[in-house]
Structure 1
Amino acid sequence: MRRPLRDYDESDVRIRPNRRGSRPRTKDRPRHEDAITARVISVDRGRWRTIVDAGTEQERAVTAMRARELGRSPIVPGDLVGLVGDTSGRDGSLARIVRIAERSSFLRRSADDDDATERPLVANVDLMVLVTAVAAPEPRGGMIDRCLVAASVSGIEALLALTKTDLRDPEPFLSSYAPLGLEHVQTRRMITADGTEQIAGLDQLREHLTGRVSVLIGHSGVGKSTLLNALVPGADRATGQVNDVTGRGRHTSSSALAMQLPGGGWVIDTPGVRSFGLGHVDPEDLLEAFADLAPLAEQCPRGCTHLADGPDCALDELVAAGEAGSAGSARLESYRRLATVLRANDPWDV
């Protein structure tokens, strides 16, 4: 039997709900005017450990995640960031990082010299402390040269901290860097009259660090963690021994960590590095980082590449002659080795 026909009205028409809602979209980002300032002290698997109200009675550690609007912007120890959400610091609480303050400096490295991919290390640092042992493991001038270049292009001062000077006279090694006017401190282990072990020279190092934001960089086994434990009571950074066969240290710090100094200031400990790539550095900025060679290069003919095959390069003659201000052939070889690799990696260098 057929059903009788009937009139239809609007109640018989199904309308799909608007899943996106009726609120119009906007390109305006929230201002987050209520965000509080914090300093990033460590990074661990997508979570950032920060310190809020440092040095006050309200000081607290707050764990935070990155807000979606920041995208993939790097956030590293030393960064000053704006936090919103739960900033109480209670166990299980999680705030959001919604902005990154303008940086006074940004230290980076690459995996290798032929890899231009930047690996951010730390931000807002005033001083780079190059920790180098004069023995066990052997000092490596190439590592120091690379770090000095990275510090120069980032606008960061450098300080050479020589450790284990009780094992060997540091003067022969220091003579290579005397023309640079590079400030340095020397430390060594000593046993006091009551039989306790102390680090001589620690006060001089502390004078350079107090009131500043510093970063310690060096190969594994040179004594960075030992210095940190002496500078910051309770730091409890793991220390390791140098392998007798390879002459290299074992990695004991797995991530960078910023710590407050008792006398004021911050010091950032970085994991021991085996290499410090400069693939992100512009080849044209390299010579300026070699402060001892740059004035000599002014006497080169126009268009000189300053490389080993460069005709009439003044660096060869002046360095060979031992002119005042020259750091010798070792420094020149170090510059040319880096310049050759960086120019090969520079797509604009023809």
Structure 2
Amino acid sequence: MMLSRMLLLLAMVLSPLVSQLSAEDVPALPKQAKLVLEENWLSGEIDPECWYVFRKQWGGGNHGVVPENVVIGKDEVNGTERNVLICTAHGDRYDGPVKGWWGNKTRVGGVIVSQEHFASGRFEVVMKIGEKESHDGGPADPTRPKGCIPALWTYAYRWVEGDKARKDEFQPETPMYNPHIPAYGMAANAYWSELDFPEFGKAGNFDDAMYNTFLQNRHDNRFFSVAQAVDGEYHTFTTEWRTHLREMPAIRDSQVIESDGFYWVQDKSIPFADYLGNPLKKLGENRYALYEGKIATHYIDGKKVAENDKWVPAMSAQLTMGVWLPDWAGPADWKTASMKVASVKVWQFGDEGDVMGVMKGRTADSFGIDGTPFQ
């Protein structure tokens, strides 16, 4: 009897803790979720209907990313040899044949991009950072290839140009032009949708990774501990991105303009901070709601590790995976390192705040196979 009472008391004490741990697990998929992309590289090839690979300048302090650094190879995943996607980084000591920006060979990475644009949903990627075993010309610590940035992210970018003579005004003939967000001081806007989940390796730190959001000219940078995923083994990275509609009762028909099924603010008296460049949905006469990102929640191996609830985008973006070598990653004192992707799944939720079709198309390459930039 005494033992039973002790077990009952123990259960009462542990019950809230168990509930708290369970609350951090990946939730059940919502009923409306649709599996729209499933990739495991079984064909041994990169399917051009699903993916494309960049040959592109990629930020500063490096020499871009190239298709030669993205291939299908073999690796052991949970005890079984199978096909995986390998994204290779060429460090500061690389002296092989592959050339990047302006023909440079060092600090060149590899990035793959989904053809399709996605919005609210679940993104699940089984990925390995570095290796357990050292290799000739590899990093001193093979599990932490310091100097490169292995990353998973959603990304979309749209450049909108206006009439420079009316740079400080809305321009109805270009409904997306917004004078509140001039890009580089020009009569132009840079619409930007990005979630990082995550980026590893800033300044060589692989134990704390960046979970960032980008929404037009807003950027929220957060670091969370991910040391459990940096051991040369495969881990499952899961992100859930949610959007919603937020009614804006003060908006009138005279203050907006329609373009491609969305309504864009055209009145400078509306505080930019109230809408941040996102479009609106017309609900009725003089009734509008804002398409708005709500939250991005991040898990590793089923356990919650991070959350973004500030400046979450609503516009659709492409799933992007790979490795690159910006100057802020620090020195890469090795020849080659890699990240590997075993599988990808994307479910779409179709939240009412999703903005589909504004961000679209393929990001163009920016240099040729010899490294010469395109004009």
- Tell me the TM-score normalized by structure 2: 0.21
Q: Which has the higher contact order (CA 8 A, sep 6+)?
A: 2
User: Which is greater in Rg?
Assistant: 1
More helix by share: 1
